[in-house]
Amino acid sequence: MWFEMKVAEKSVEQLEEEISVLRQKIAGLEKENIRNRRLVEAWRDLWAQYEAMIEAFDGLIYICSPNYEVEFMNQRFIERTGHYPLGQKCYQALHSLDDICPWCVNDRVFLGEKVTWEVLSPKDQHWYRVINTPIRHADGSISKMALIQDITELKQAKERRQRKTSLAAPWDLAP
C-alpha cells in the first residue's frame, strides 16, 4: 500500500525516467554478467591447459608448503601412493617417516634455489631424478614443487655401457 501511494505521488514522466534508469542499470548488469562469464570461461580453459600439461608429464609431481604439508599431487603420484594426501606431511605421505627426510632440500628451495639431484629409492630400488623448485604465489608465499622422473633404465643402460667398455679388449677400443 505504501508503494502504491509513493507511485501515485509521482508523475508519469518521473516514473518513465525511473524506468529508463532501471533499464540502463539492468543493461549494465547484463553486460557485466556476460564479461564475467567470459572471464570464467577463459580461466576454465587456462586451468584445463595447465591440467593437461601436468598430466602429460610422465613422472610424479607434488607441491608442498614450507611446513611440509602436501598442497598438490598429480594423478600418477596419487595412483602410486594409493590416496591423495592433501594437507598431510610430505615425509609421512610419501615415505612413511615420522620426521623430516634426511635428504630433504626444502630449506634450500624456500630460499629460492632450484635443486636437481638423483636418488635411489629404498621403497622400490628405482633411480629417480628429482627437480625441486620454488613456486612463488601472487600473495608472496612460496611452495616447493617436486618433479620426479624414473631414470632407472637410463642408469642401467649407462652401467651396461661402462661394463662393456671396461671388459673390452684393448684392440676393441681402437678407432
Q: What is the mean pLDDT of the chain?
A: 87
| Strand, helix or coil for residue 76 | helix
The H or E element that residue 84 is part of is none
| Residue 88: pLDDT over 90 | yes
Per-residue pLDDT, averaged over 100-119, amounts to: 94
> What local confidence, expressed as pLDDT, does residue 7 receive?
56
Q: How far apart are CA 51 and CA 119, in angstroms?
A: 27
Query: How many alpha carbons fall within 13 Å on the CB side of residue 7?
Result: 7
Q: What amino acid is encoded at 54 in this protein?
A: I
Say what the pLDDT of residue 172 is: 56
pTM beyond 0.75: the answer is no
Residue bearing cell 564479461 = 35
Give the Cα separation of 3 and 15 in Å (integer).
13
Residue 21 pLDDT:
86
Q: Do 62 and 73 meet the contact criterion of CB atoms below 8 Å apart?
A: yes
The mean-pLDDT minimum among 5-14, 136-145, 165-174 falls in 165-174
Nearest 5 degrees, angle CA 67-CA 69-CA 72? 135
β-strand partners of 128: 119, 150
Q: Which helix (H) or strand (E) holds 34?
A: helix 12-56
**How are the residues of the chain apportioned to helix, strand and coil, as percentages rounded to the nearest 5?**
50, 20, 30
- What three-state secondary structure class fits 161? helix
- 3 state DSSP class of 42: helix
pLDDT at 6: 61
